[in-house]
Structure 1
Amino acid sequence: MTSAFDFKANDITGAPVDLAQYKGKVVLVVNTASKCGFTPQYKGLEQVYQQFKDQGAVVLGFPCNQFAGQEPEGEAEIGAFCEKNFGVTFPLFSKVDVNGSGAHPLFQHLKKEKPGLMGIEMIKWNFTKFLIKKDGSVYKRYAPSTTPAEMVGDIEKLLAE
């Protein structure tokens, strides 16, 4: 069975990252954008990361420019923006597509495992979130409007398993 930890992605600097390094951790994967109405969620994502990183949870941000062109900048600018405006220290990755034929394999997997409303796999907007269990299985998919604070109970539950 394929797990979320079977994939690789490039970090914000372009260096390859084997997601297997997160085995045994609770992982929150988010497709992000810097010019979106949900962009302030970066602050909440960082708070969740700070709250749980020492307990075995991590947030992974994947910038995406597929929704109204709301992530037009390059990786260096994205990283600087997130750090300056929201104090982001959780891992950020290079820009990816989350829908269509060029969708990153990780997002193809996440969408297949946890489709959205009415079984639709497509991601509808920035800041769609996927919570992954320590074994790499996908626990839950959250709408863009779900705040990071609203996921704390689920993260605590998975950390206790």
Structure 2
Amino acid sequence: MTELSEEAGNALRSALDAEHAAVWVYGLTTAYATESRVHNAINDAIEQHKRVRDTAVKVIRGAGQTAPSAQPAYDVGAQVTDQGSAIELLVKAETDCQTGWRSVLENTDDPGLRSTALDGLTTAATRATRWRLTIGQQPAAQAFPGQA
């Protein structure tokens, strides 16, 4: 059984919530992907988010705690009408994941959990940068990903 401090557990549950939301958002945006390269990138990202999500669930359950479940739907706070607005939503989802994983990094000393958090943070930051480039948003990369 893995041990999670209260701070690390709270941070990990928040990161998991962000991952659940990201999987849902990516599913929504598939309906708006008009270019095959965008559709392929969405499908790849869904698989990566599911992988990181599943790892987070295993760690939480391994610590004898209850992992939060995905919601049936999420309020995206914006109207998605086309590929561009869908990609803007993906940037937001990736930014939320970055914030969650950065918090995990800041709240644990466990090497395995830090590795998972670093993977989640860097892949989310990379995807957000790619999405910003796709829609011409500048600056494309954030100086300190996940910093609120």
- Mark the structure with the bigger radius of gyration: 2
Name the one with the larger helix percent: 2
Q: Same fold (TM over 0.5)?
A: no
Q: TM-score, normalised by structure 1?
A: 0.26
